[in-house]
Structures are given as structure tokens and as C-alpha cells.
Amino acid sequence: MSGFLGSGRIYIDRKVGGVYRGFKYIGNATKFEIKENTEKKERVSKDRGNYGSALNTVFIKKPGEVNISLDDLDKDNLALVFLGDTSNVSVTGGTVTDEVVIAYQGLIIKTAKRKISNVVLTHSISTPTYALDTDYEITDPDLGLIKIIGGTITDAQSLKLDYSYGSMTSSKVAGGTNSSIIARILFDGVNQADQSKAVVNVFEAVLSPTSGVDFLADDFAKLDLAGIANVPVGGTAAYEVEMDVVYS
């Protein structure tokens, strides 16, 4: 017998389109908690001889809770806390001709493509051609941001843009595309008190975020998930905990 001071890895198999596709290690997890819940029902005496005493007490089983905290940010983990879906973005460089934009003095236009160069800005009727650093400036070529600075361009004026754009790859999370996350959870743990192994299987968890992601936090960002452990169809338990696991 020993106390428990745990370390370990958490693997999540997220159900996508109604199908489990395989487990993925979620990186450094700082919390993995399972909590059972009950609701107490009491029949209380109103009799003058034992007023306030409990005549019957029943605890009704409620769904167990699962809580996870992690601090490794990749597209898959962000998709969990943003209730989103992931995709890989790949753009091959090229050119754009006659992209229509509406300009306002002192404000910034964002081009449809990024990593821009060779910019030519004209009136919507093709003339005049406006001068870089006189009528406009490129404030961020990577994002495709162009600021209108010259007095010859009037507010709400329709302009045309020609430019080249570079190739780009990224990992994208489309946020808010799901109401919850359904996943299987596997914990491969070690008790640091005696180096014994522990394994936890949560057969089906319905998860949602409990905190936001602060992209300007003063410390490392943390992702928090909480949810309910369900008994899967055909199953008898919501989860299993194995202690003192020995392989041979």
C-alpha cells in the first residue's frame, strides 16, 4: 500500500463524424481528474418527538465528471477547447489582378492573399495609378495590410489591386463548429511513490471548455476541459481504473 503521486500521459481519441479514428497524445497534461457525483434525497421528520431527524436517506447516482488541464498548444488541442475542426492550409504563390477593395483615409485594407509584393493600386476605372508611400503604404506584407495615407483617395472609394503573393502553409482551427467534444480517454500513469503503473480508460466522455485561451497572457497558456463520463452503448461502466499494473 502506498500514497499516490501521479505522472503520466493522456491520449484522446476524438469522435469525428460519428467515428473514433485513433488516439493522440495530447502533450503535457497538468490535471486529470475523475469525480463521482451523487444527489442526496432525505425524508425528514416533522413529528414533535424527533423533529428534524432523517427518517430515510438515499443517495442517487449522478454521472461522473472528467476534468483535464494541459499546456501544450497544437491545432488538435486548440480544436478541443475551441469546439472546432482542424485542417491543413497550403497556398501556392501566384498573382492577383483587379482585386476590388473599398478604401477609407487612414484605415487599412486587407488583401485576399498574403505575403504580397509588386503592388499596383489604381482607381476602379484603372486610372489614376496611386503612388506607394505617397497615397498608400504597405504596413504588413505578410498579412497583406495596406494603409491609405494620401489625400487623393477619398473615403468609400472603390479601388483595384494587382499584386503577387507568396506560398504559405499553416494549421487551421475553425472554431465553434461543434457543441461539444466526444472522446475516449486513455491515461498511462506511474505512481512516483513506488513506481507502480496505473491505467485509466474513460470509454466515452462528452467534453467542453471551462476557460478561454488568452493569447496575451503573462504566463504559458493553459487549456481546461471538463465533461461527463458516459456508459457507452453495450457497456457496463463509464470508466475503469487499473492499479499496480505489471506486464510480463
Q: Model confidence over 77-124: pLDDT tens digits?
A: 999 999 999 999 999 999 999 999 999 999 999 999 999 999 999 999
Residue 110: per-residue pLDDT: 97
3-state helix, strand, coil in the chain (%, to 5): 5, 55, 40
CATH number, domain 93-166:
2.60.320
The model carries a pTM of 0.88
Percent of the chain with pLDDT over 90: 96
Taking phi first (over 0 means left), then psi (-120 to 50 degrees means alpha), and beta for anything else, what does residue 10 get?
beta
In order of 44, 119, 125, 189, 199, the CA distances from 236 in angstroms are 34, 65, 72, 23, 18
CA distance 226 to 89: 30
- Quick: pLDDT tens for 22-41: 999 999 999 999 999 999 99
- Quick: pLDDT tens for 213-240: 999 999 999 999 999 999 999 999 999 9
User: Beta-carbon neighbour count of residue 146 at 10 Å?
Assistant: 26
How large is the average pLDDT for residues 61-85? 96
Residue 221: per-residue pLDDT: 93
CA angle 27, 84, 235 (to 5 degrees): 70
**For 237, phi and psi rounded to 5 degrees?**
-145, 155
Confidence of residue 183 (pLDDT cuts 50, 70, 90): very high
User: Is the pLDDT assigned to residue 1 strictly greater than 90?
Assistant: no
Could you tell me whether strands 168-174 and 19-20 are parallel, antiparallel, or unpaired per DSSP bridges? unpaired
Is residue 69 within 8 A of residue 29, CB to CB? The reply is: yes
Q: Could you tell me where the DSSP H helices lie in the chain?
A: 75-81
Residue 199: per-residue pLDDT: 98
What does the domain layout of the chain look like in residue ranges? 6-31+66-87+173-245, 93-166
Residue 151: per-residue pLDDT: 77
3 state DSSP class of 12 = strand
CA distance 41 to 39: 7
